[in-house]
Amino acid sequence: MRITGTHLGILVIALYFGAQACYANDIYISQIGDNLDLDIVQDGENNQIEALSGSGNAQLSGDDKTVTFNQTGDNNQTQVWTNGGNQQLSLTQDGNSNLSRMDNHGDNNNMSVDIDGNSNFTHTEIGNGGDNDNNMSVTIDGDNNAVYSEVISGDYNNVDVQIHKQDNSYAYVRVNGDSNNVKAWQGKHEDGNIDTDETGDNEVYWIVTGDSNNLASYQTDDNGNGGQHIANYITGDSNTVKHTQRGAGDHDGFIEIGGDNNDVELLQRGNSDTQFADIVLDDGHTVDVYQRYGSHTANIDLTNAGGGYNLDLDQTSTTNKTYSITGTCTNANGCGVIVTQN
């Protein structure tokens, strides 16, 4: 175990060693104040790092911090709750069956979590009091991993969740605020590179409350051993939603939106598998649904749309193509519906 740190105030680290060296080590960080540079490295199994923002054995609060945690091994745990602004927080875990939670409350903070291994769980959170202008990044390589990312409350935050080389992975994203940028990627790197060894059967769930948010997700399964599933629940106005599902395996997308003037795009592209889209919308929206190859089904309910809406449904396949569209248009200028089947 290596610990390095420099601080202009007070730094207290308590180490509790188990029966064996580099095994069952606990690190409790107590830091109240500003201007901290801290680097903690743990090697082994069943280790724990804890840094909280409240009272007790572990505290971490203040501004202008750079804190890095590195854990290598299995069954490790990191819990970090911070208060303050202009913080740079980083966690890296390499191994299996690790747990981590990173909560960051304040403005203008950068938080990153990088995990390599299988059967890991991470929970990241920003904004417990209307926190703004934060960046949160979560990257996981491996199978059977779960990500739970939240913007509790706040505006102009950026959230980027990427899960690569995945099988049976789960991502839950919750946002409460306005003008946030949120992305969730399974199987495709943001730089455009696609993993070739992912096997699918992955899920993404969104719950979003707020206006003028930009939401994007990308799921791919090139081996066809599973499927891609997304469920999207949005309450708010003028949000932009773009979801892409591609590759072999079945795809299903469910989108439910309550609000005005949202822009929705769903692209499902497969081989000979099933593409299923179920969309329920309130008030006036622009909706584009593209289904390519395989067997297609689209159910779109615009009954409660109230105002005007524009819908473009495009199904391209040599096999089954079915759709059901229900709508009520109360706009004096009419509503637009285009359906194309090739």
Check residue 167 and report its DSSP letter.
B
* Residue extents of the structural domains in the chain: 69-341
Q: What does the pLDDT read at residue 111?
A: 92
Round the average pLDDT of the chain to a whole number and report it.
78
Mean pLDDT of 17-41: 69
Label residue 115 by pLDDT band (50, 70, 90).
Answer: very high
Q: If pLDDT is split at 50, 70 and 90, which confidence band does 272 have?
A: low
pLDDT for the residue 1: 34
Q: Collect all residues with Cβ–Cβ distance below 8 Å to 165 and sequence separation of at least 6.
A: 141, 142, 143, 187, 195, 197, 198
Name the percent of the chain lying above pLDDT 70. Answer: 79
pLDDT band at residue 271 under the 50/70/90 scheme: low
Residues 289-308 have pLDDT tens digits of 888 877 888 888 876 655 66
Which region holds residue 305: left if phi is over 0, alpha if psi is between -120 and 50, else beta?
A: alpha
Between the CA of residue 280 and those of 31, 159, 313, what are the distances in Å? 49, 25, 14
pTM greater than 0.85 (yes/no): no
Q: What is the pLDDT of residues 188-212, one digit of tens each?
A: 555 555 554 555 577 888 899 999 9
HEC profile of 113-165 = EEEECCCCEEEEEECCCCCCCCEEEEEEECCCCEEEEEECCCCCCEEEEEEEC
